[in-house]
Amino acid sequence: MRALVIDDEQLVLEGLEALLQAMLPDLSLDKTADVNAATLLAASVRYELILLDWHLRGAAGEPVDGRSIVQAVRAAGSTAPILVVSGDDRHDWPQLLQEMGLSGMVPKCASGTQLIDAIQVATRGGIYLPAWPLGEASSSWRQPAPPQRALSPRERFPELTARQAEVFEVMIRGLGDKQIARELGISEATVKTHVRGILAVVGVNRRGEAVFEATAAGGKNA
């Protein structure tokens, strides 16, 4: 299967790539943060799935709504199922997905297992929705059971120091070094030092791989 990921957060792109390559080894993945490039790819490649962040930035930094991206991709001739991967907790996702002809929505904080389940539903012609935060929805929508609590980075990797675990928690949310420094009230150089320590503890070389290990391979509490 060949898929396209459209997201302008580099960490998210790396994390998705690491996750999908680990759990779907037969998947061929293209990724881009550029809306125009995504449209050109959709016009030239016959994708079987598109993963789309609903809120992007254009070439000049202007916000680009998911509606316009979907319309551009469809106008380019792509008929691939489009699965939204978003941190937007709006409550009208069922209506919006139906209106736009999309194949589901997965929260960015979802586990790797949830994402794979959503991909399987979408590629089989179904529509995937999480059990939260949408409240009650029509019984015609796919509603998987709410996820169990995922292990925290400190629980998953007890070798982490308290500060490393704190940095890791913020890093998992997709924030860059400057944003982490601002949120935790520490210097960017200190953040970089902690990130290097986190990668060493997790046993990987890239931030996206560390995020994958924390979110997809961390297991669940009973």
Residue 24: C-alpha distances to residues 50, 144, 150, 209, 210 (Å): 15, 20, 21, 15, 18
| Digit-coded pLDDT (tens) for 99-147 | 889 998 888 777 777 888 888 888 888 888 876 544 444 333 444 444 4
Closest CA to 3 of 37, 51, 67: 51
Report which of residues 206 and 13 the model is more confident about. Answer: 206
| Digit-coded pLDDT (tens) for 59-102 | 677 788 888 899 999 999 999 999 998 877 766 788 888 888 99
Report which of residues 193 and 98 the model is more confident about. Answer: 193
* Confidence (pLDDT) at 217: 43
Tell me the C-alpha distance between 125 and 123, whole Å. Answer: 5
| Digit-coded pLDDT (tens) for 133-183 | 444 443 334 444 444 445 678 888 999 999 999 999 888 776 778 889 998
Residues 6+ apart with CB under 8 A from 186: none
Confidence of residue 48 (pLDDT cuts 50, 70, 90): very high
State in Å, rounded, how far the first CA of the chain is from the last one: 34
* Confidence (pLDDT) at 150: 56
* Confidence (pLDDT) at 216: 55
* Confidence (pLDDT) at 144: 44
Residues 6+ apart with CB under 8 A from 10: 33
* Confidence (pLDDT) at 82: 94
What average pLDDT score do residues 172-199 get? 89
**By mean pLDDT, which of 164-168, 196-200, 207-211 is the weakest?**
207-211
* Confidence (pLDDT) at 140: 39
Report which of residues 117 and 47 the model is more confident about. Answer: 47
Report which of residues 200 and 153 the model is more confident about. Answer: 200
Q: Is the pLDDT of residue 45 over 50?
A: yes
Residue linked to tokens 């029509």: 138
Domains and CATH numbers, the chain: 2-123 (3.40.50.2300), 153-215 (1.10.10.10)
* Confidence (pLDDT) at 74: 92
